[in-house]
Structure 1
Amino acid sequence: MKKVNTTEKNSENLRKRAEKQLKKLDSKDIPLIDESDPIKLIHELQVHQIELEIQNEELLAAKEVAVNEMEKYSDLYNFAPAGYLTLSKEGDIIELNFSTANLLGDDLEKIKNTRFGLYITEDTLVIYNAFLDEVFSSNSKETCEILLTIKGEIDKFVHIEAIVLRDRSHCLLAMTDITDHKMIEDELLQKSKELKEFNKFFIGREFKMIELKKEINDLLNKSGLEKKYMH
């Protein structure tokens, strides 16, 4: 059995709706037709006109839905807690959201079209450049950690993830501030180092005490006296 084409089926449904609507029209709304006029042709024109009106209404409704969805997407993008950017191959910032502007410490419009590398510390810029090259040469998500340098503020550690777009001319990048996490991590490392130093000192002190007790016992033994310390 031959499968009905979807486009043909939609056209057929549209025509049925148009003819149904045409029948509802009052006779006074239908132009007077001279007996010599091709009635069938006029009927077809009337049906076609109603088809166009229906299509126009559906297009307007679809456009309204699309605009509403775009506004929702725009709000989700702009007000997301994570920083979102669109970068070119050269690392220029094409698009960004408010969280990114806040992280970079400047107005959104001033940041747009600037080089992202300008906000990165020299010691982590090498990491970022290698990361960006990897993003545009692969098809998978890439990650790294860099340090942002913000004028008048302390440097910020950020974790970034990026993936190249299908046309490979731009990439999408997500950025999360991990400064607090890094500070806690560094403090834990420092405390661990101090603990190791203390243990080293304490163990050395214990060994010294054992050695001194042994020497005292040896001296007492040589003097014919009873040992003072027991091992």
Structure 2
Amino acid sequence: MPATTNELGVYAQLRHKAEAQLQAGASASRWSLGVDALRLLHRLSSNPDNAEDALKLLHELQVHQVELDLQNEAIASNEQTLAENLSLYRTLYNSAPIGYLLVDFEGNVIQSNHTAAELFCVGRDDLEGRSIATLLPPQGRPALHNLLQRVAQSGVRDGCIAKIGDGGQDARHLHFLASMPPQGEHLLLACCECASADNFG
């Protein structure tokens, strides 16, 4: 497959940077040639007819080595950035004041954060793999079931309010928001406690 214009531009920049570092004599001791390459260079340089070619080859090998070093540095920097971003998003997900759940189209919990487990008064390990409907009383299940069906069919973000708890003073209402990610394989569900269903019309 031929290289794209963008790839050629990146390679040209990399080569220019490597050439500049070699001309500046930066850390030349870091770069070493293999035994076979040194033998070839020695053989070529021993013959006056090939000495110029040997110098060109040596230069090309040095430039290539510097290019590899620069690429390794860029990869290490990218890996560090990705690790930091992953850590940040894990913290945001797990410490969010709103419950987050990833559920399949039947409402089985695939993944959840700590707040979601607290809202349902269960351990996080007990929540994952469980049908979210089993965490609601019978009268609260239809609203959530209908929400999941609507979003699964339309792909449009929607919400509902469902009752949780057995009634009396323990009864609470949860506001659910559901959306479908671009892949469309699961549903994203956010939930938080609200004072009552009346507050949301």
* TM-score for the superposition, normalised by structure 2: 0.79
Count residues in correspondence: 178
| Displacement after TM superposition at 1:82 (Å) | 0.8
Matched, 1:142 2:158: yes
Other-structure match for 2:90: 74
Out of 96, 112, 116, the residue aligned to residue 112 of structure 2 is 96
Out of 182, 190, 206, the residue aligned to residue 196 of structure 2 is 182
Higher RCO (CA 8 Å, separation ≥ 6 residues): 2
| Displacement after TM superposition at 1:149 (Å) | 3.1
Any conservation in 1 of the 2:163–2:174 contact (CA below 8 Å)?
yes
Pair 159,6 (structure 1): closer, same or farther in 2 beyond 3 Å = same
Any conservation in 1 of the 2:100–2:113 contact (CA below 8 Å)?
yes
Distance in 2 separating the partners of 1:125 and 1:114: 14
Other-structure match for 2:15: 15
| Displacement after TM superposition at 1:30 (Å) | 6.6
Cα deviations by residue, 1:62-121 (Å, 9 ceiling, x for unpaired): 111111111111111111111111111121111111110111112112211111111011
Question: How is 1:194-205 mapped onto 2 (pairs within 5 angstroms)?
Answer: none
Distance in 2 separating the partners of 1:172 and 1:82: 13
What is the aligned-residue identity percentage? 26
- Say what the alpha-carbon RMSD is for the aligned residues: 2.5
Pair 42,166 (structure 1): closer, same or farther in 2 beyond 3 Å = same
Larger Rg over CA atoms: 1
| Displacement after TM superposition at 1:155 (Å) | 3.0
Distance in 2 separating the partners of 1:156 and 1:45: 71
Other-structure match for 1:60: 76
Out of 186, 193, 198, the residue aligned to residue 170 of structure 1 is 186
Cα deviations by residue, 1:124-149 (Å, 9 ceiling, x for unpaired): 21221111110101121111010123
Question: How is 1:108-127 mapped onto 2 (pairs within 5 angstroms)?
Answer: 108-127=124-143
Other-structure match for 1:199: none
Any conservation in 1 of the 2:177–2:191 contact (CA below 8 Å)?
yes
Pair 61,27 (structure 1): closer, same or farther in 2 beyond 3 Å = closer
Any conservation in 1 of the 2:172–2:196 contact (CA below 8 Å)?
no
Distance in 2 separating the partners of 1:134 and 1:45: 62
Structure 1 unaligned residues grouped into runs of 5+: 187-231
